[in-house]
Amino acid sequence: MPKIKTPTMSDVARLTGFSSMTVSRALRADTSTSDETRLKILDAADKLGYVLDGTAAGLSSRKTGFVAVIIPSINNANFAFTVRGLTEGLRNSGLQVLLGYTDYKMDEEERLVKTLLTRRPEALVITGGVHTERCRQYLYSSGVPIVEMWDSPPSPIDHVVGFSNARAGRIMARHLYDQGYRKIGFIGGDTDSDIRGADRRRGFVETISDFGLGTDRLWQSDQPVLTMAGGAKAMHELLDQYPDTDAVMCASDLSAFGAMMTCQKRGLTIPDDIAIAGFGAYDISANALPEITTIDVGARGIGTQVAEVIKSSLADKTHSKDPANIDIPTRLIVRKSTAG
């Protein structure tokens, strides 16, 4: 590694004979120089291996080009798709995603918000609508547009692009009921960490309760159950206690798959002996055997919409518009695993 000092704009300026201001202009798209000088400058910059210092540019222009994005987990296809949608939606605006993940921990989220605000993002996107008080405080006083996504918070901080997770639970409960199932269980974690999973559970329980069905087949844990192994284990326990369960909704397709494997290991046929439903329209639900009924919220589309909200919010100099509140439709995908 040669430890040569990185060239700066002044170096390019010196080489071309222009002032560094002209160099700055030549390197940016929205500013004007004559074509001739621009070419000369680009050429010299290339020759020197000049790379713009975004740190300095951001400090000076008060525009860092960062959009901070906070998701619960980086190892989750749904959030990954949202980030993709976001990244691509922002690319043409020259905005770059600065990603952080919380591991489904609220205090980690708070820490992360603080760290990310340090980078002076032009907007901040956060997953869910429940945060620590101090975290809300940081967000409120950040002075940049905030987007809460993947949820439908009762009192949003600013913009929202999400959906009601409770509604998703209700939709699935109704579907299972419509298919004729009456001994329906749920597998999912508790309230403190996977808040959205817990909301789905709540909607689910409300609905089967409305239908007059028992709500005792609710498996739960103090950890989020969003993994295959977690779903598999939970299903064992549920079946041990309630062997006659005829349908189960899981908080995620991954746990649904695990649960289905458990059933198959125990010699149960899906859906004849027991129906399984998931959430999230992960790859696995479309490729498992049998295919698993799920709910699609268009994870990528959420990202795309968030990008639009951010762009329009940043373009709106007057701050006249009301915060956006976009409701993403939740689409039930009926597959063989619940073919009553």
Partner DNA sequence: CTAGTTTTTGTTACCGATAACAATATCCCT
Partner DNA sequence: AGGGATATTGTTATCGGTAACAAAAACTAG
3 state DSSP class of 247: strand
Q: Is 96 in the site for DNA (CB under 7 A)?
A: no
Question: Encoding tokens for residue 81?
Answer: 């798709």
Applying CB under 7 A, does 10 fall inside the site for DNA?
yes
Stretch that binds DNA, among 2-10, 92-100, 104-112, 182-190 (CB under 7 A): 2-10
Residues 50-89: x/- map of binding to DNA (CB under 7 A)? x-xx--xx-xxxxx--------------------------
**Residue 119 binding result from a second copy, DNA, none, given CB thresholds of 5 to 8 Å by partner type:** a second copy
Structure tokens at 125: 């996107």
Secondary structure letter of residue 269 according to DSSP: P
Are residues 302 and 128 in contact, defined by beta-carbon separation less than 8 angstroms?
no
Alpha-carbon distance 101 to 112, whole Å? Answer: 8
Structure tokens of 292?
């698993």
Using CB under 8 A as the binding criterion, the count of chain residues that bind a second copy stands at 62
Closer Cβ to a second copy, 160 or 166, answer by number: 160
- How far is it, in rounded angstroms, from Cα 79 to Cα 107? 20
Among DNA, a second copy, none, what binds residue 257 when CB lies within 5 to 8 Å by partner kind? a second copy
In contact, 69 and 85? CB cutoff 8 Å: no
Residue 289 burial by Cβ neighbours in a 10 Å radius (0-12, 13-18, 19+)? exposed
Residue from 2, 14, 21, 210 that binds DNA (CB under 7 A)? 21
Cis peptide preceding 156, ω within 30 of 0: no
Q: Which residues bind a second copy (CB under 8 A)?
A: 1-6, 49, 51-56, 58-59, 64, 74-75, 77, 80-81, 83-84, 87, 96-99, 101, 114-115, 117-120, 137-138, 140-146, 158, 227-229, 232, 254, 257-258, 261, 264-265, 283-284, 286-289, 319
